């Protein structure tokens, strides 16, 4: 059964490799050789191109490739009221490589305000044609997890309960603002749930004085508060990511440790789940996804290398997943974005598009 509303049988996580024109324009902007308007003009041109390429690949959904961002999360967070970005002592450690040293802190009361990404979405919508434009933003749990208590002003938020209440309210305002701008497909990107599946990450969480189990309950509650009362025609997805930076990763482990509270308790419309290799575990946790409209978008096509998967292998894995969840509650996508940060993963633009076309071809056969 094909789908006429999101998520689609062939879907996409969001980010694409930054073209050379974008990289060069950013360098010129940072050097003071062009101004913000000139940079935006280059971005507009390249976003038009990437939207056209997504439609040519056969996708019913399009994103702006996150071409205006350096990071999948910090750019959004720094646009919120009460949040300040800064150059950290060190970057985030991935498997064998470290990101640039950037982080955020909460310095005053949180608010959504007139966020600059609203205009970014309006532009995407204006050029999306017959495709559905999807907006991607980081999940609220990401805002808290990395820095924890130390990144939140104790003067502003002496009680973290007030912080989490405000965080949920900020996301309610964000959801309404994007909806009012015409967004009907919103994706929340979340690395934290995958960390809560990793024994190594859970050890680090306990060492800093937090309880992984308590964090899971708190994050589930914040998510449900944020999306409570959303319009019926707005589809909200949650992408559970194990880390994606220059083709490396952070966490490993199947979804079983969080499956019941995440799949069974968070009222999201679609879960985008990474299943590109053995680090992801088996499909058994899918049994907790609620029967009915809720969808699992399985990321069976890796974005971390250019090697093209065999269609028959992917189709066999979809059949295996269908042992735990009705095939009509399953969709297909790449495992993650192709460039969660501006550096991008280790594959070519041509390989990127080959992978997307493979997703579309397989979905057309299976459904």
More confident residue, 146 or 141: 141
CA separation, residue 219 to residues 165, 167, 214, 225, 321 (Å): 11, 10, 9, 10, 26
Q: Residues 147-201: pLDDT tens digits? A: 788 889 999 999 999 999 999 999 999 999 999 999 999 999 998 888 888 777 7
φ, ψ for residue 269 (rounded to 5)? Answer: -85, -30
**Beta pairing class for 81-86 and 103-111:** antiparallel
Contacts 24+ apart (CB under 8 A), 21-26: 21/45, 21/46, 22/46, 22/67, 23/342, 26/70, 26/342
Confidence at residue 94, expressed as pLDDT on a 0 to 100 scale: 42
Percentage, residues of the chain above pLDDT 70: 92
- The answer to whether 365 and 307 are in contact (CB under 8 A) is no
From CA 155, how far away is CA 159, in angstroms rounded?
A: 9
pLDDT tens digit sequence for 203-226: 888 888 888 899 999 999 999 999
φ/ψ region of 284 (left if φ > 0, alpha if ψ in -120 to 50, else beta) reads alpha
pLDDT (tens digit per residue) in 26-78: 999 999 999 999 999 999 999 999 999 999 999 999 999 999 988 878 889 99
Span 79-108, pLDDT tens digits = 999 999 887 655 444 455 444 557 889 999
Whether residue 362 is predicted with pLDDT greater than 80 in this model: the reply is yes
């Amino acid at each position: 059964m094909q789908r006429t509303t999101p998520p689609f049988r062939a879907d996409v996580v969001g980010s694409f490799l930054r073209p050379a024109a974008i990289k060069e324009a950013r360098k010129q902007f940072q050097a003071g050789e062009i101004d913000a308007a000139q940079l935006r003009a280059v971005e507009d041109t390249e976003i038009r191109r990437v939207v056209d390429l997504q439609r040519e690949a056969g996708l019913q959904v399009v994103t702006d490739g996150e071409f205006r961002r350096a990071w999948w999360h910090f750019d959004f967070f720094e646009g919120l009221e009460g949040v300040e970005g800064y150059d950290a002592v060190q970057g985030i450690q991935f498997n064998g490589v470290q990101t640039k040293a950037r982080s955020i802190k909460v310095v005053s009361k949180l608010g959504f305000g007139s966020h600059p990404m609203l205009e970014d979405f309006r532009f995407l919508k204006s050029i999306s044609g017959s495709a559905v434009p999807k907006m991607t933003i980081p999940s609220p749990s990401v805002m808290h997890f990395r820095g924890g208590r130390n990144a939140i002003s104790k003067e502003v938020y002496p009680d973290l309960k007030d912080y989490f209440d405000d965080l949920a309210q900020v996301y309610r305002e964000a959801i309404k603002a994007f909806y009012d701008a015409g967004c009907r497909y919103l994706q929340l990107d979340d690395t934290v749930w995958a960390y809560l599946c990793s024994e190594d990450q859970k050890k680090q969480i306990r060492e800093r004085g937090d309880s992984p189990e308590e964090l899971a309950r708190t994050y589930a509650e914040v998510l449900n508060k944020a999306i409570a009362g959303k319009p019926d025609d707005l589809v909200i997805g949650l992408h559970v990511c194990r880390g994606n930076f220059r083709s490396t990763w952070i966490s490993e482990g199947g979804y079983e440790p969080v499956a019941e509270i995440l799949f069974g308790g968070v009222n999201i419309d679609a879960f985008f789940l990474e299943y590109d290799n053995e680090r992801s575990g088996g499909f058994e946790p899918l049994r907790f996804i609620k029967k009915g409209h809720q969808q699992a978008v399985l990321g069976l096509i890796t974005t971390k290398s250019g090697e093209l998967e065999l269609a028959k292998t992917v189709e066999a894995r979809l059949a295996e997943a269908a042992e735990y969840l009705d095939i009509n509650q399953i969709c297909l996508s790449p495992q993650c974005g192709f460039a969660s940060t501006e550096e991008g993963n280790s594959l070519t633009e041509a390989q990127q598009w080959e992978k997307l076309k493979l997703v579309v071809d397989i979905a057309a056969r299976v459904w």
